[in-house]
Structures are given as structure tokens and as C-alpha cells.
Structure 1
Amino acid sequence: MGGSPLLLTIMITLSAFFSETESTSFEIVNNCNYTIWPGLRSTGSSLNLSTTGFTLRSGASFNLSVPKSWTGQVWGRTLCNESSTGNFSCFTADCGTGKVECDGNGAIPPATFAEFELNNFGSGVDYYDVSLVTGFNLPMVVEPRGAGSNHCISSGCSADLNGDCPKELRVAREGSQGTVACMTPCTAFNNSRFCCTGEYSTPASCSGTVYTDYFKQRCPKAYTYAFDLTPYANQTTFTYSCATANYSVVFCPISLPAETQAETPAKEPTVSEQVPSKSKNHTIMIASIASSAGIIIFILAVVAGLWSSRRKRQQG
């Protein structure tokens, strides 16, 4: 027996209402002066989203409804193109599917990415952070918004680390001097000390290096390496929490020149230059001595000239 049309309408309306209240709104914003291609990946048992990758022009935004208990990652890909055969690829943070949609794949390092764990164990509390653990390719922040965000803290890295990335960590385009991404020392050197593995696999034995200090000084509200436990404000870790909020994921929160991402040469000083070696100090000392000797010789020459002139006047 068929149901009442009125009852059916009410049920559909209520279903839509509860579906809306059981979701979180993400606004993904591109403040960069160039196009980016956001990627999204659901992790654990989370349902797949309506999109896993798309194109986002400069100045544009994209609204996405996310399941209330979603767990996953968001990141931005840059310098993307499609070949004549239809293969899509990006120079930074590519997901390797050969198309705009990432279909469950994550970002290939180096990549800046945001991590979310919404409605943790049904508690109504969301956990989130912006991670540089796999490197950096784009400035990025997560900003809680809405009624539940009054006492919540934004997380992220608004600085452009590509501009002064340490020389040994730079990633550049072929045939260009520009730096488009910044590797972690773990990726660059594959050393257990930098990767927090082996004998350095505990917080006590892997407390950070000059490289992690470089990331932390510029991005104090981002998660910078595996055991980054340095507190910010009242936080005890760099995983932030908020209840019943919606979120804005903003790329390039401080607008950058159009050429910054692709072609701006990396600036000095590098990390190695911030920690001078003995040979460098020795060079500085030699230069100082040479400079002082030159001044002394000049003074002696002036004194000799004056003495010679005075003697000639006396003889005349």
C-alpha cells in the first residue's frame, strides 16, 4: 500500500535536515596569485567525499559538506598540467593518479597538508593541525568558524618557506633557479637522526635539529616533525581542538606575488650559514686582521708624509 504524499514529503524534509546537521562545512579558499589544485583524502573508515581533487583559481573558494565524523587530509597541488595524452600531473604534492581526482591517494612529499579528525569517538570535539612533517609547498592555515569556534585557535603556516629554504632542502623546477618546495631533512638525507627512527625513535632521543628549528621559527603554529611537542599559547601539542565548528582551509593567507611560487630565487641565509663553521670564522678573522693592517699602513704613510714636508721647510 502506498504512503501518503504529505507524509513522504515530511520524511524527505526531515531526512535532509538531519543530514545537514550531521555534516561539517569546509570552505577551501585560494588566496594565492596562481591556480592550485586541492587534494582530499579520507582515512580510516571515513566515507569518501563528493570530490577528492579539483581546480581552484586565484581568488576563488569552494564549499564542501563533510561527514560529521570524517577523518582525513587536505592539501594543495601546484604547477599542474595535462599532457597531450590526457595524463594530469603536478610538480608539487601530486597524488599520482594521472587525473585531477586523487581517488584515495595522498600527497607525494614535500607537501603542506591539514589533518582532521572530526567528532572524535562521538564526543563532538574536532581535532586538527597543519603539518610540515612531509615538507612544505604552500602556505596554509585552518581557521575554525561558526557558533562553536569562539575559543578555538587557528593552525597553520602563513609564511612562504620556499623563499629562504635551506639550500640543501630546496626543490626547484628543471632549468630554473626558483624554489617551489622545501624538503624535510629526513627526505633529503635519509638519516635516522632526522627521520626519528631507529635509535632516535622516541621523543627524548629525537628532540629536533637546526632544520626543525628553521621550520618552527617561521611557522610556530604548525606541526613540524614527528615528535614536535613544543607548546603554543595554551596548547600542549600542535593538534588543536574545537567543538561544533565549521572550517576554512586557506591557501596563501597572506597574498604573495604571482611569481613567488614558480620563479623567485631562494634567499639567504641558509641554515648552514646561520651556524658558521670554524673555517668561516677563520676567514672572518683573516679579513679583520688584513683590514686593520691596511689602516695602520695608511696612518704611517700620512705621518711619514707630514714629517718629510716639515723637514724640507726647516732645511729651506
Structure 2
Amino acid sequence: MAPATSSRRKTTRRNDMSDIEDDSTTVHATRDDVEESDEEPTTRRVKKEKGKRRAQQEPAAVDNDPDSDSDEAIDVENFPDQPLKRDQMSKLLGMADDWEKLASVIKRPFDSFATSAGALADLDDEDAKEKVEEIDKYMRESLDLIGVMKAHAGALTSVRQKGLQGEEIANAGDCYTTAVQVNLASYKNKTTRQKYAKQEAYVAFRSRIWESQHPGTPMPPITEQIPREQGDNSDEDDDLEIGGVTQNYLCPITLTLLDDPYTSTVCGHSFSGAAIRATFRTPSALNKCPAAGCAKSFRLADCKSDKGLAKRVKAHKRRMEREQEDSDAEEVID
């Protein structure tokens, strides 16, 4: 009986060792599983963080699809014109003013045109006459360009007036274009006299030429220098009787030729610089104009240096000297 018992105990012991080994294997496997399960979430978290950083660094995609259903998409081609609002009328006034400023830029060389034409006319030869006619052409083309600018400015002003009067302007662009076309057609249909005879700049231009060609003789009305065309009538000629005035180059104070002339911006009379400064000793004081028959008053600050007039005075002085030389030569011959 004893050996049998001993045999059962040994068998049991071996079974226990086997169970322990199996358990040990199971424990190791469980730990591996746990380690693997812990590693997987960590990896995912790292990937997620990298993904977030990449998304922040990369710009968001822009939907440029014109067929997009976005509420902010606007069909520009079929978008209707919007009526002008009353508070937008000031913008039209500003645009019209821009056209007027451009016109003033075109006017800047007019005095130079007149001075050059007068100097050439003073030469009295065929080549000089051709040059004078060429400058006259430039002068008229410049005035025509100003006419175009005035047409645009007038169109903007008319659209603005309609808006201020309460008229709804839903198609401002069309209204503006139509008004410009009407104004341009009106200007182009004018005769040469109607375009230029009332332009002060052109009258002054022709006066400078006349003065050089006919010193001391008043210029006749400008209409006599512009041929009559179909569309001109006598009533308009009466309104265009501009002429008959000679330029006086004497200072109203000293009664001698102007020297370093200054011209009043108030009345237009010119004086020698030293003479007007001596007469108006207090620059800020208001004084009556020294020119005979002028009732206007101005300050010394209202007188501006007139370089253009200074050039004309020199040309006038040269003509006087040349006439005197010719007169002396005739007396010697006689």
C-alpha cells in the first residue's frame, strides 16, 4: 500500500509543475497582450497630434467652383443694376470735377502757344507764317479736346441733377453714356465760330498774333478772322463782336513801360513791381486800384508776378525799337 501512495504523490507533483509552467506561459502572454494594447493607443495619439499640426500648417482649400451652391456666390453676369442712392450723388460731382481738372491741365500751355505764335508772327516771313498756322491748329485741337472733357463733365452733372430731383436712376451707366453722346454731338455740330470765337483763350491767342503783325492797331472783331460757315447767322455775330482793344504796356502808376509786371487777380490791371509795392506799403491793407476808372479794391497779396506779360513787354519794346530804326532810315534816305 505504501508504494502506491508514493507513486500518486510523485504524479501529483509533476502535474503541479506542468500547471505552473502553463500558468507561467499564460502570465507572459497576458503581459505581452497588455503591453501591446498599451502601445497601440499611444501610437494613435501621436498620429492624431501630427495630423492636427499638419492641418494647421496647410491652408484651407478654397472652393473656386462657379457652380458651387454656396449662398455667398453671386452671378455677376445676371446681377441687375442697383439704383443710385442720394448719398452717392456726391461721387458723381467728384467725377465731374475730375474731368474739369483735366481740362485745366490742357489749358496750361495756351499762354506759351500765344507767346510762340506772336514771336513767329513778328518775323514776318513765309516760313514763320506756316508755323503760326500750325500752332493755331494745335490751339484749336486742344480746345476740341477740352470740349470732349466738358461733355463728360456735363453728362455726370445731368445724371446727378436727375437723382437729386428724385428720379430713380437704376441704369446709371446707360444714362451717363447717352448724355455724353448727346453732348458730343451738340459740340461737333457747332460751326468754327461757335466753337472758338467765344473762347477767351483763343481770342487772346489771336490778339497776340494780330499785335505782332499790326503793332499799335486795335484788333478787329474775332469773327472777321474766322470765315462764315453754314449755320452762322448775324445775331450770333453780334454776340461775338470781340476785338477792338489794344494791349497797353504802360504802368498806370509810372506811365512808363511795365518793368517786372505784377497783375491784380481782382481786376486784371498790371503794374510795375516796384511801383505797386511803393503804393501799397501795407501788404494786408485794402486799397483802391490805381488804374484810372477802376472802382475795385485789392491787397498787395492779390498781385501776382506776370512772367508772360513781361515777355510781351520785351517783344513790344523790340517792335518799337525796330519801327524807330526804320523811321530813322527813311529820314536819312529822304
- TM-score after normalising by structure 2: 0.20
The structure with the larger Rg is 2
Compare the two structures and name the one with the higher strand fraction: 1
- TM-score after normalising by structure 1: 0.21
Higher relative contact order (CA 8 A, sep 6+): 1
